[in-house]
Each structure stands twice: as structure tokens, then as C-alpha cells.
Amino acid sequence: MQFVSAGRHGHGHGHGHGHGHGHHGHGGNSQCYQAQQFFNQWWPQSVLTSVFQTLCYRVGATQAWTTLQGLLGVPVTGTLDQATFQALLNNNNHALLAQQLLAGVTTP
């Protein structure tokens, strides 16, 4: 009876979505890439992962994090930090977060 590795294994549905987001105007795309790696590592199947990624490339990493931090109720730094990570781990409704994030980010 091995329940140990039953967790997040095996489903790597190649979340590489190469939508070559052509607008590198925000200068924060390396942050978006880091955020993407982070979310894919921890919540590969989460809708929040894809929503955050989309918004990050659309409005920039700072705005995406700022909005998410506001929703999580952690200090707003505009970057991924320990408090934000902790809050994400403790939040068990990422689907709702994703909806709120979409609603909360005003797209240009």
C-alpha cells in the first residue's frame, strides 16, 4: 500500500503553452517566467496558474502580483515573496482567487 507518491505525479500535461506573447513591452517578462515556473512547480493543474500567467504577460508582473497580494491580504510588494507564497499555500480555493484576479486586474 503506497499512498506516498500518489500526490502530484504523472500528470505533466505539457503546460508549455508556447503562445509566443509578442509584446515584450513590460520589461517584467523574466519575472513572469519565474512566476510561471513557480506556479507550475507547486500547482501545475491550477486554473490560478494559467490565469496568473496570462495576466502577468498582459499587465506585467508587478501589477499581477500586487493584485494577487491584495486578494490574499498580504503586504503588497509587487513581487513573489515568502508571505505571498505562504498565503497561496494556505489558500484552498485557487479557482476563486483566479476569478477575483481576473476581475481585479484592469486590462488596458
**Alpha carbons 79 and 89: distance in angstroms, whole number:** 16
pLDDT of residue 107: 61
Locate the domains of the chain by residue range.
Answer: 27-104
pLDDT of residue 15: 45
Segments of the chain with pLDDT less than 50: 1-3, 5-27
pLDDT of residue 29: 75
pLDDT of residue 25: 43
pLDDT of residue 108: 57
pLDDT of residue 54: 93
Cell of 18: 508556447
pLDDT of residue 5: 46
**Alpha carbons 77 and 19: distance in angstroms, whole number:** 28
pLDDT of residue 34: 94
